[in-house]
Amino acid sequence: MTFVAVIVAAGMGSRAGGAKQWRLLGGRPVARWSLEAMLAAGAADVVVVIPAGSEAQAARAFAGLDRWRTVPGGADRAASVRNGLAALAVTGETPVLVHDAARPLLKPAHVRRLLDALPGWDGAILALPAADTLKRVEGERIAATASRDSLWRAQTPQAFPLNRLRAAYARLPSDASATDEASVVEADGGTVRVVGGDPRLMKLTFPEDFAMAEALIPRQMRIGQGFDAHRWGDGEAVWLCGVRIDHNQTLVGHSDADAGLHALTDALLGALGEGDIGDHFPPSDPQWKGAASDRFVGHAVELLRARGGAVINADVTLICEQPRIKPHRPAMRARLAELLGVSLDAVSVKATTTEGMGFTGRQEGLAAQAVVSISLPSRASSESRG
Ligand code: MG
């Protein structure tokens, strides 16, 4: 079914600490979550109402998405929605969904539920029956206990035939304020139904709500593994897992040849599906000559954080006959924990010889293996798998 949408992202969110629509949630701007979900549900056209002057910010926040436009908001919510409705190119009974960007955890299933419920009604909204006992409070004193029977908490999106909602807004007195669209249509004599909402469609109102929303984002765990080897050559020290060790040889490479950090970088890139260390730091590029390899790990960690991810743990194995690793293990773990932003117990450094066999046994070179696990937000537009 063809439908269009208006996403209201014009409020500055003073109670939530300002401009919450652009704040990152799970690595993505808050307003982008709703836009992605509307597009994934098949919206033909989405108008996002934003604060006047924040067009460039919106363009960055919505980069790579299509079928969206922005219009500046008005003095209050009703004025903002009016602007959004006016900007929609369609007419007639096409369903329009109006949604608050402050409810980012929207899923295509919510949209389908509303579209299925709308025919025959002037509107359909997502709502939850009030579960808590409701108190009327004056100051700190309870003045009355209200019956919660038949009381529901309205959420968004709210769906209406476009011509019906436009007509209701046209007849809304210009000085009247409205906190949702259903109340505008009700005031205009329309019949609006409720369909089951979702507690995860919580509204980001107070600063602490962001932590709760982060916890509600479906996340996936991923594993990555990496392997690296470098040849021994003349030198007096070697870098391993970000620690300089005095030794009668060094590892030869374009950078500092820290095989432990190279394997770890590849493990991180592998978990992200972002290629390998050679793609990001080509050996042909002179700027990486002699580079400290903690920059490579730092780059992979930045890619991870940009996607709202975090390292869970890392396990590195160094394969060599010499030098002895054990005395340096605490320093290596501490450095890796620092680079990855995790606690010490989430990092392991192990060492083994190959009992004289193979290239490491013949002391031609040193090899390193790494395994990492990461947690990454699932895409808002993909359906929950559980
Ligand atoms: Mg290497």
If one compares 75 and 99, the residue with the highest pLDDT of the two is 99
How far does residue 277's CA lie from ligand 1's centre (Å)? Answer: 8
pLDDT at 385 over 50: no
Among 182, 211, 240, the domain boundary falls at 211
Cα end-to-end distance, the chain, whole Å:
26
Report the pLDDT value the prediction gives residue 278, as an integer from 0 to 100: 93
| Structure confidence at residue 120 (pLDDT) | 97
> Are residues 192 and 91 located together in one domain of the fold?
yes
Between the CA of 294 and the centroid of ligand 1 the distance, in Å, is: 12
pLDDT top residue among 288 and 337: 337
Name the 3-class secondary structure at 248.
coil
226 CA → ligand 1 middle, Å? 10
CA–CA gap between residue 276 and residue 375 (Å, rounded): 19
Position 17 scores a pLDDT of 57
Report how far ligand 1's centroid is from the alpha carbon of 305 (Å).
Answer: 23
CA of 31 to the centre of ligand 1 (A): 41
Whether 385 is covered by a domain: the verdict is no
346 Cα to the center of ligand 1, angstroms: 23
Residue 104: predicted pLDDT: 96
Of 68-72, 92-96, 252-256, 359-363, where does mean pLDDT reach its minimum?
252-256
Q: pLDDT at position 175, please? A: 84
Question: Can you give the CATH number for the domain in which 126 is found?
Answer: 3.90.550.10
Q: Please tell me the predicted confidence (pLDDT) of residue 13.
A: 60
| DSSP 8-state symbol, 256 | -
Residue 158 lies in a domain: yes
Mean pLDDT of the chain: 93
Does residue 128 fall inside a structural domain?
Answer: yes
Arithmetic mean of pLDDT, 227-240: 97
Choose between 334 and 381: higher pLDDT: 334
The model's confidence at residue 251, banded by pLDDT at 50, 70 and 90, is: very high
**How many Å apart are CA 250 and CA 195, to the nearest integer?**
68
Q: How far is the CA of 374 from the centre of ligand 1 (A)?
A: 22
Is 182:111 a contact under the CB 8 Å cutoff?
no
Helix (H, G, I), strand (E, B), or coil: what is residue 24? strand
How far is ligand 1, taken at its centre, from the CA of residue 221, in Å? 26
Smallest CA-to-CA distance from 274 within 301, 294, 314 is with 301
DSSP result, 58-115: HHHHTTT--SEEEEE--SSHHHHHHHHHHH----TT-EEEEEETT-----HHHHHHHH
Asked whether residue 45 carries a pLDDT value surpassing 70, the answer given is yes
Task: Tell me: do 180 and 301 sit in the same domain.
Answer: no
Host domain of residue 364: 219-380
Identify whether 386 is part of a domain.
no
Q: Check whether residue 199 and residue 237 sit in a common domain.
A: no
CA of 343 to the centre of ligand 1 (A): 26
Q: Indicate the residue among 183, 211, 239 that finishes a domain.
A: 211
Strand residue runs (E) in 320-364: 347-352
| Distance from the alpha carbon of residue 180 to the mean position of ligand 1, in angstroms | 58
- Site of tokens 């869970």: 312
pLDDT at 383: 42
Q: Tell me what pLDDT residue 16 has.
A: 54
For the beta carbon of residue 131, count every other beta carbon within 10 angstroms: 10
Exposed / middle / buried, residue 158 (Cβ in 10 Å: 0-12, 13-18, 19+): buried
Same domain, 204 and 254: no
Greatest Cα pair distance, the chain, in angstroms, is 88
Same domain, 278 and 362: yes
Q: What is the pLDDT of residue 380?
A: 46
What is the structure's pLDDT at 381?
45
* Of the candidates 96, 62, 105, 80, the residue with the CA atom closest to the CA atom of residue 10: 80
Query: Cα(369) to centroid of ligand 1, in Å?
Result: 11
**Out of 68-72, 96-100, 289-293, which region has the weakest mean confidence (pLDDT)?**
289-293
- Domain check: are 149 and 246 in the same one? no
Alpha carbons 331 and 300: distance in angstroms, whole number: 21
State in Å: Cα 82 to ligand 1 middle.
59
* Mean pLDDT (whole number) for 208-216: 92
C-alpha 167 to ligand 1 mean position (Å): 67
Give me ligand 1 centre to Cα 171, in Å. 70
Average pLDDT over residues 6-22: 77
Query: Which segment of 6-10, 32-36, 286-290, 350-354 scores lowest on mean pLDDT?
Result: 286-290
Distance 262 CA to ligand 1 centre (A): 5
- CA 253 to ligand 1 center in whole angstroms: 7
C-alpha 153 to ligand 1 mean position (Å): 57
| pLDDT of 222 above 80 | yes
**Same domain? 71 vs 161:** yes
The residue with tokens 């374009």 is 254
Tell me: do 228 and 372 sit in the same domain: yes
- Same domain membership, residue 357 and residue 283: yes
Q: Please indicate, yes or no, whether residues 181 and 294 belong to a single structural domain of this protein.
A: no
Question: Is residue 68 scored above 70 in pLDDT?
Answer: yes
> In the predicted model, is pLDDT for residue 15 greater than 80?
no
In whole angstroms, what is the distance from residue 336 CA to residue 260 CA? 10
Mean pLDDT over 28-38 rounds to: 96
Strands of the sheet with 347-352, listed across from one edge: 249-252, 219-234, 365-377, 310-319, 347-352
Predicted TM-score (pTM) above 0.85: no
The rounded Å distance from CA 315 to ligand 1 centre is: 17
Phi and psi, residue 152, nearest 5°: -125, 155
What CATH number is associated with residue 276? 3.30.1330.50
Q: What is the whole-number distance in angstroms between the Cα of residue 257 and the centre of ligand 1?
A: 6
Question: What's the pLDDT band for 182 if we cut at 50, 70, 90?
Answer: very high
Select from 218, 88, 202 the least CA-distant residue to 156.
202
Under the banding of pLDDT at 50, 70 and 90, the label for residue 382 is: very low
Ligand 1 centroid–CA 230 distance in Å is 6
For residues 108 and 252, membership in a common domain is answered with: no
Q: Do 13 and 161 fall within a single domain?
A: yes
- Among 211, 246, 281, identify where a domain stops: 211
pLDDT tens digit sequence for 131-178: 999 999 999 999 999 988 899 999 999 999 999 999 999 999 988 888
Neighbour count for residue 121 (Cβ, 10 Å)? 16
What distance in angstroms lies between residue 306's CA and the mean position of ligand 1's atoms? Answer: 25
Does the residue 359 lie in any domain? yes
Taking residues 63-67, report their average pLDDT. 95
Look at the chain and report how many structural domains it folds into: 2
